[in-house]
Amino acid sequence: MQQPRRSRVGELEFCGIPVRAGWMGMGRRDDPLGHRVLRILIIVLCLPAVSCQCRILKCNSEYLSATSGLHVDAEESVEFCIALRAYSQCTRKTARACRGDLAYHSAVHGIEDLMSQHNCSKVGPTHPPPRTQPTSLDFMVHSDAPEMCDYEKSLQQKTPHPNYTHCGLFGDPHLRTFTDDFQTCKVRGAWPLIDNDYLFVQVTNVAVVQRSSATATSKLTVIFKNFQNCVDQKVYQAETDDLPAAFVDGSRNGGEKHGANSLKVTERVAGQHIEIQAKYIGTTIVVRQVGRYLTFAVRMPEVIMKSFEDNQGLQLCLKGCPTNERMDWRLPQLAEAEGGHPPSQAAVPHQSFTRETATARCREKLPVDDLYFRSCVFDLLTTGDLNFTLAAYYAFEDVKNLHSNKEKFHIYERTADIPPGNTAPGQANLQALAIRHLLLICWLWCYLMHL
């Protein structure tokens, strides 16, 4: 095996790849093992027998350069997934020449494991968006957007009006999917909400209180993918106390193409309410900061929502949260029985609530006993943070503005929304008990008849 040589102060060089002294793993700060293993494999497997046509060393070098200094935690997961997709793309290009190379096969398996571990979509951007100073793009006068850059105008007159879908995420967090399922989830860390041919949305959720699985959204990344002559690729990113009125490159529209104005960022309330209109795909996105956390809502044509490959991967807005990530609605009752909500880590005023006081508070903003109202009660009992009352209220206001079917504004509790193995409190328990008693009576009757 090649001996390491010094390249410059503080660095070693393996197989032409500079390696910093004291190199740290790239995994989560408390568990860097997986990422250290991949990096060690990249170094150790640099054998002299590697074919000149096999360019796996070039792929390794580019990956290490792209991820240098990153820690794969909730804050930098988007950049890490971009680097992994680029790494995977590079290995595919050299697959034929590297067919018998051990370093190549180790890299391929390492990439697959890390993409799965960190919920990285296989389809998406492979280059990080440029971060530049604000430009003069917003002050340019664009010609009227071509008809193709207005989704509804581009439809033929004989085509029926498109069906629109809605997805929302708010609070603890509570998820309303495109199919109007309502779930309460844990989903701590970075999770993709939407990932189709036109749009990618990812949220990062952090713990709200100690000794509880409750989380809330602290960061949101939206990537509008390059689309014909309408818009360039644009990235919008928001996090707690930073709700910008522009994309990350400083612009407020889709770039320099003729249809640039078919994508716009509008500030409704400074630091609290942003709306993004993407007319070229008939989509509206609403982002709010309520208290210390973010809410998300989107209105999208059904055709656009379904524009993805079958193996696209997880999309919470489409498939909902994994079963093991869903929370039991009985948790607030348990917290109340233990004497109120657990101590909070958030830097906002809190107080203890009973079910009666939480119900009264939520009733002020949400008079209908639907799942938005119950999510409000749930959040107050779990966190003691009054801002979650407003989060539920604004989430329902967004439903009224974005959902295309007034009959489905409200969603009421159903036993199907409870994870397997749990039961909904109240009426559902009584009904299940009555059914079991009835079956027992029928069995006893049949048994006595056959004596």
For 156-215, the pLDDT digits (tens) are: 665 677 899 999 999 999 999 999 999 999 999 999 999 999 999 999 999 988 777 789
Percent of the chain with pLDDT over 90: 45
Terminal-residue alpha carbon distance, the chain: 83
Q: What is the pTM of this model?
A: 0.62
- Report CA Rg, the chain: 26
| Bigger pLDDT: 100 vs 377 | 377
The upper half-sphere exposure of residue 439, i.e. CA atoms within 13 Å in the direction of its Cβ, equals: 6
Q: In the predicted model, what is the mean pLDDT of the chain?
A: 77
Q: Which percentage of the chain shows pLDDT scores above 70?
A: 67
Lowest-confidence segment of 40-49, 60-69, 233-242, 439-448 by average pLDDT: 40-49
Please, which pLDDT band fits residue 253 given cuts at 50, 70 and 90?
Answer: very high
Around Cβ 9, how many Cβ atoms within 10 Å?
A: 6
Tell me, what's the pLDDT at 425? 36
Tell which wins on pLDDT, 331 or 180.
180
Who contacts 296 (Cβ-Cβ below 8 Å, separation ≥6)? Answer: 167, 168, 169, 170, 193, 201, 203, 217, 220, 285, 286, 287
pLDDT at 362 exceeding the cut of 80: yes
Is the pLDDT confidence value at 91 over 70?
yes
| pLDDT over 80 (residue 351) | no
Q: SS3 of 401, please?
A: helix
Whether the pLDDT of residue 430 is over 80: the answer is no
Dump pLDDT digits (tens) for 34-79.
555 555 555 544 444 444 468 888 888 788 777 766 665 555 678 8
Average pLDDT value for residue range 221-249: 94
Beta bridge mates, 170: 174
- pLDDT of amino acid 92: 86
Query: With contact defined as beta carbons under 8 Å apart, do 414 and 427 qualify?
Result: no
279-312 tens-digit pLDDT: 999 999 999 999 999 999 999 999 999 998 776 6
Q: Which of 3-7, 98-102, 182-186 has the lowest mean pLDDT?
A: 3-7
Q: What is the mean pLDDT of residues 348-372?
A: 88
Q: Is the pLDDT at 275 greater than 90, yes or no? A: yes
Over 70: is that where the pLDDT of 412 sits?
yes
> What average pLDDT score do residues 22-45 get?
48
| Contacts by residues 46-53 (CB-CB < 8 Å, ≥ 24 positions apart) | 46/1, 46/2, 46/14, 46/15, 46/17, 46/103, 47/1, 47/102, 47/103, 48/1, 48/2, 50/15, 50/101, 50/103, 51/97, 51/98, 51/101, 53/97
Contact 357, 402 (CB under 8 A): no
Hey, what are 403's tokens? 């959902």
Instruction: For residue 106, name the pLDDT band (cuts at 50, 70, 90).
Output: confident
